Amino acid sequence: MSRRFRIRRARRALAPLLAPFLVLLVAAPAAAQEDDPGAEEGTAPLLSVGTGTLSVDGRSVPFAISRTAIGPLVELAPVVGSLGGQLTPIEGTTAWILEIQGTRAVLGSNSQAVTVGEEIWSLSQTPRAVGVRVLVPVDLLQRLYGNLLGWSFEWRNDSATLVARRGARREIPLTVSAVQLQGLTTLVLEFATPPRYNVDKQAAAVRVDLVGDAVRLTARPELPVGSLVSRLEVRPERILLQLAPNTRVDDYVLSEPFRLVFDVYADAPATEPEERTPVTPRDLPGVHAIVLDPGHGGPETGAVGAGGSQEKELTLLLARELERRLETRLPVDALLTRNRDEGLGLDERSAYANANKADVFVSLHLNSTRGGSAHGAETYFLSLTASDEAAAAAAARENRAGGQASEASADLELILWDLAQSRHLSESQRLAKLIQAELNRSLGLRDRGVKQAPFRVLKGAAMPAVLVELGFINNPADEERLNDPEYRSRLIEALVRAIERFRASQEEPISRGGAEAAP
Point out which residues bind other proteins (CB under 8 A).
Answer: 23, 26-30, 33-34, 90, 92-95, 104, 106, 108, 110-113, 115, 118-120, 122, 295-296, 300-304, 311, 345-347, 365-374, 380, 383, 385-388, 452-457, 459, 467, 469, 472-474
Closest approach of other proteins to the CB of residue 443, in Å: 17
Tell me the three-class secondary structure of 18-51, residue by residue.
HHHHHHHHHHCHHHHHHHCCCCCCCCCCCCCCEE
E strand or H helix at 435, and its extent? helix 425-443
Contact 470, 491 (CB under 8 A): yes
Nearer to other proteins, 115 or 175 (CB): 115
Closest approach of other proteins to the CB of residue 86, in Å: 16
d(CA 428, CA 360): 9
Neighbours of 32 (CB within 10 A): 24
Nearer to other proteins, 75 or 311 (CB): 311
Nearer to other proteins, 178 or 364 (CB): 364
Closest approach of other proteins to the CB of residue 475, in Å: 11
Instruction: Give the up-direction half-sphere exposure of residue 373: CA atoms within 13 A in the CB hemisphere.
Output: 2
Closest approach of other proteins to the CB of residue 298, in Å: 11
Radius of gyration in angstroms for the set of CA atoms belonging to the chain, rounded to a whole number = 28
d(CA 379, CA 313): 20
d(CA 286, CA 503): 7
Nearer to other proteins, 135 or 390 (CB): 390
Q: Is the peptide bond before 257 cis (omega within 30 degrees of 0)?
A: yes
d(CA 491, CA 473): 14
Closest approach of other proteins to the CB of residue 118, in Å: 8
Nearer to other proteins, 119 or 486 (CB): 119
| Cross-sheet strand order for the sheet of 333-336 | 333-336, 289-294, 360-367, 465-472, 378-382, 451-453
Nearer to other proteins, 82 or 363 (CB): 363
Closest approach of other proteins to the CB of residue 401, in Å: 25
Closest approach of other proteins to the CB of residue 208, in Å: 26
Nearer to other proteins, 323 or 469 (CB): 469
Closest approach of other proteins to the CB of residue 179, in Å: 26
d(CA 338, CA 276): 9
Nearer to other proteins, 33 or 428 (CB): 33
Contact 127, 135 (CB under 8 A): yes
Q: Nearest 10 degrees: CA dihedral of 23, 29, 32, 37?
A: 170
Closest approach of other proteins to the CB of residue 449, in Å: 12
Among residues 447, 424, 418, 442, which one has the least CA distance to residue 502? 424
E strand or H helix at 347, and its extent? helix 346-355
Nearer to other proteins, 184 or 374 (CB): 374
Residue type, 455: F
Backbone angles phi, psi at 260, to 5 degrees: -105, 120
Tell me the three-class secondary structure of 378-432, residue by residue.
EEEEECCCHHHHHHHHHHHHHHHHHCCCCHHHHHHHHHHHHCHHHHHHHHHHHHH
Residue type, 381: F
* Residue 400 Cα to chain centre, angstroms: 32
Nearer to other proteins, 57 or 300 (CB): 300
Closest approach of other proteins to the CB of residue 453, in Å: 6
Nearer to other proteins, 189 or 465 (CB): 465
Closest approach of other proteins to the CB of residue 17, in Å: 19
Closest approach of other proteins to the CB of residue 374, in Å: 6
* Residue 362 Cα to chain centre, angstroms: 21
Among residues 423, 432, 446, which one has the least CA distance to residue 495? 432
d(CA 199, CA 196): 10
Contact 335, 279 (CB under 8 A): yes
Nearer to other proteins, 357 or 424 (CB): 424
Closest approach of other proteins to the CB of residue 93, in Å: 6
Contacts with 401 (C-beta within 8 Å, 6 or more apart), sequence order: none
Nearer to other proteins, 197 or 380 (CB): 380
